[in-house]
Every structure is written in C-alpha cells, then in structure tokens.
C-alpha cells in the first residue's frame, strides 16, 4: 500500500496511458468487427426466414436495413482510404527546361504595351 502511494507520481501517468491505449484498441476492434457482425446478422436473419420464424415481408425489411448498413460501412471505409491516399500528394518539380526558358524571355511583355498606351494620360490632383 505504501509502495503504491510512493510510486503514484511515476505510475499514475503510465497507468493513464495504458488505459487510453486499451480504450483505443477496444474502439478499433468494435469498428473493425462491425461489418463482420452485420454479415452474421444477415446470416441469422436468413436462417430465421428459412426456418419459418419470420415472414417474407419482415425478412425483406430487415434484410434491406442490414444491407444498407453494410453498404454505408463500405462507403465510409473507401472514403477513409481515399483520404489517406490523398494525403500523399506528389510533388511536381518547378524546373524550367532550357528551351522553355528562352521562350519565356523572348515573349514581349504585356505591361510595357499598356504603359505605352497610357503615356499621354496626365494625373491631376
């Protein structure tokens, strides 16, 4: 008991981190198993229908609900994968080829033409 009290300043943060890790692991396991659980529910529903425990109308309604949930989970997973893939943007080099460089410097400037057109304008206070 005395040892726990003395080690509390050291072990408290460590125990807190362990608890947070366990919570994260539990959450990921339930999310990962959600699709598997929906497939099990669908199989169970099929068995109930085959055994005559539920009517065809009830089966159709419940089957549609489960399939929509499965479809929503798959769509969410694909969006997560796309967003993860989108984070790895490809860096384009900003180099100008020698042939392009000559073209850039040889083009007449548009601003000098505008300035020449406005040379006769006088600004008054």
pLDDT tens-place values along the chain, 125 residues long: 777 787 778 888 888 888 998 988 887 777 667 888 888 899 999 999 999 999 999 999 999 999 999 898 888 888 878 777 665 555 555 555 555 555 555 555 555 555 555 555 555 55
Instruction: Find tokens 């009830």 and name the residue.
Output: 58
Predicted local confidence at residue 59, as pLDDT = 94
Q: Residue 31, CB half-sphere, CA atoms under 13 Å: how many?
A: 11
The full set of domain ranges for the chain reads: 9-77
pTM, entire model: 0.45
Structure tokens at 16: 């807190």
Predicted local confidence at residue 31, as pLDDT = 66
Predicted local confidence at residue 37, as pLDDT = 87
**Alpha carbons 56 and 64: distance in angstroms, whole number:** 12
């Amino acid at each position: 008991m005395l040892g726990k009290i003395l080690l509390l300043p050291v072990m408290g943060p460590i125990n807190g981190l362990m608890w947070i890790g366990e919570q994260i692991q539990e959450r990921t396991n339930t999310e990962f198993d959600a699709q598997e659980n929906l497939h099990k529910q669908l199989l169970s529903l099929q068995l109930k229908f085959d055994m005559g425990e539920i009517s065809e109308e009830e089966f159709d309604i419940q089957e549609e609900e489960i399939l929509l949930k499965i479809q929503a989970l798959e769509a969410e997973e694909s969006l997560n994968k796309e967003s993860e893939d989108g984070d790895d943007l490809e860096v384009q080099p900003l180099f100008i080829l020698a042939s392009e460089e000559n073209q850039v410097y040889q083009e007449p400037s548009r601003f000098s033409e505008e300035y020449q057109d406005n040379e006769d304008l006088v600004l008054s206070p």
